[in-house]
A = this chain, B = another copy of it.
């Protein structure tokens, strides 16, 4: 498995439930997973090729049910082993890259109103994402007793909780900026 290419374990994790094509994998990454991990075709297809060479996954018979040919992949025993090994590793990199916070930090180089506007843009964005996550949550609550759904549910509630914290912060931040604007400057 490639050293720094984390898409490998994403693929293994998805394939541990069902056989999927590269196209399917991309769709999964555009769903709930997309809130904490992204992927692109230019990322996925080369990974599938090299992972098959390494014996972590195997190609299944290509089918042609409408549209172009389909190439579903299946996880091998070796792949399952690699997935488990990764899950047991203690270190995990959790990275945040928020341009909004960068703009906030350097807000002093512009008018106060620019920062407030940037916070509002961020707020709207968070609200949109929050609405999506809440529909995911509702759907999952109905089938929480099904295998593994509790894990999906927990990642979704993680997203909801943090986004709600973001919104509270937005309100506070705008208030603070307004007050300082009026009384100090």
Contacts and interface: CB of A to CB of B under 8 A. Distances in A.
Interface of A: 6, 9-10, 12-13, 16-17, 33, 35-38, 80, 83-84, 86-88, 90, 92-110, 114-115, 118, 121-122, 125, 145, 147-148, 150-152, 154-155, 157-158, 161-162, 164-166, 168-169, 172-173, 176-177, 180, 184
B122 A92 contact: yes
Please tell me how many copies of the chain the complex holds: 2
A172 B158 CA distance: 10
Nearest to A119: B154
Contact of A100 (B92, B109, B157): B92
Top 6 nearest A-B pairs by Cβ distance?
A: A13-B106, A108-B148, A165-B165, A92-B99, A36-B101, A94-B98
